[in-house]
Amino acid sequence: MELLLEITDKDTNNGEIERFDKPYRLRKAVRGVVINDKNEIALEFVSKHNYHKLPGGGVEDHETIEQALRREVREEAGCEIEIGDAIGIIIEYRNKIDKLQINYCYLAKIRGELSKPQFDKEEIENQFESLWVPIDQAIDFLEQDNPTTYDGKFIVKRDLTLLKKAKELILKS
């Protein structure tokens, strides 16, 4: 899988000094650019903090990357998926919280019917909303987002890069 980007605090205008000399907590995560039969993609709006994100999240100890992606998309977008081509990997160095996050991202298509997303407590507190929009509109949303949190600044940069790469792959197919 291709490495698309490495993001540091410097890249997100967080005002932190770029450092790589401390121990990081490693977090493996998955992201999906999930496409429905109308060529719309799943997108989450985190209204409390004013940004959009792709469905996805952390890989749990007992899961493969594919199992985690299916679980996260089921929870956040309310659908089962067929995983397609790899989009790429993005690495985040979140120095402020000593986290190194490796994100694996895939194209995916909906399989079956949509159901209601099953947001967890934190997602409910952050006022997540599930959307289905054309990929160009999703890109526009993220380009205009102004996240109010440290994590949100990383998420927007990461997911905007993933969406642009996904669009290239979709146009080639």
Using N-to-C axis directions, what is the helix angle for 150-172 and 135-144, rounded to 10°? Answer: 150
Rounded (5°) CA angle 153-134-105: 50
Query: Which pLDDT score, from 0 to 100, does residue 17 have?
Result: 66
Per-residue pLDDT, averaged over 147-161, amounts to 96
Tokens 């909303």 -> residue: 129
- The neighbour count for residue 71, using CB atoms within 10 Å, is 16
pLDDT tens across 78-135, in order? 999 999 999 999 999 998 899 999 999 999 999 999 999 998 898 989 999 999 999 9
Query: Which pLDDT score, from 0 to 100, does residue 15 have?
Result: 65
pLDDT tens across 8-62, in order? 988 887 666 677 777 899 999 999 999 999 999 999 999 999 999 999 999 999 9
Query: Which pLDDT score, from 0 to 100, does residue 89 have?
Result: 98
Residue 2 to residues 87, 106, 110: CA-CA distances in angstroms?
8, 11, 24
Query: Which pLDDT score, from 0 to 100, does residue 10 have?
Result: 87
User: How far is 86 from 88, CA to CA, in rounded Å?
Assistant: 6
Among the listed residues 80, 75, 68, 77, the one whose alpha carbon sits nearest the alpha carbon of residue 121: 75
Per-residue pLDDT, averaged over 127-153, amounts to 96
Query: Which pLDDT score, from 0 to 100, does residue 51 have?
Result: 96
User: How far is 99 from 109, CA to CA, in rounded Å?
Assistant: 31
Question: What is the Cα gyration radius of the chain?
Answer: 15
